[in-house]
Amino acid sequence: MSLISNPGEIISESQAVSSTSGIILPFLHEVPNVVPEILFALSPIFIMYLIFEKRVFKLSKTSRKKIRKEILYSFIGFVLFLTGVNAGFMEVGRLVGYNIATLDNNILLISVGFVLGLVIVFAEPAVHTLTNQIEDVTSGYNELSHHLIFIKI
């Protein structure tokens, strides 16, 4: 956006946060935000499990206990993962983005964006799966599949 319009001085909240707080404090502030999100995401799965447990599965007591323990482990794992992403990686991303955006070198900004976008596309398994599916369906003869094959290489 700063390439199209001149926003003036860019103010970064991440610089203020990173200079005044320690290492652990951003993570502790993020946990209360992440926990409701994970509860909201896992609640439909847990509710469906409870419904099917009573009506369809008819599992033993030890199996039910084991499944509930594994759901708890999933909850804890998601909370730790998203807390680390939101408090750690997102903050680093903001700092790197801020520092690159404040440079007067627009070519560097565009180059970094291009490389990051390219790496994300290559790392996404769905792109590889889509490429293979298009090849299978069209027997390798489709203009779109040729472009995707070129990207895959």
- Give the CA distances from residue 60 to residues 8, 46, 65, 68, 70, in Å, rounded to whole numbers and listed in that order: 65, 17, 9, 12, 15
Q: What gap in Å lies between CA 5 and CA 89, rounded to an integer?
A: 28
Global model pTM greater than 0.75:
no
100's enclosing H/E stretch is: helix 90-101
Q: What gap in Å lies between CA 86 and CA 49, rounded to an integer?
A: 29
Whether the per-residue pLDDT at 146 is higher than 70: the answer is no
Q: Which residues contact 103 (CB under 8 A, 6 or more apart)?
A: 109
Q: What is the pLDDT of residue 11?
A: 53
Tens of pLDDT, residue by residue over 87-113, are 878 778 888 888 888 888 888 888 888
Torsional sign, CA 63, 68, 72, 77: positive
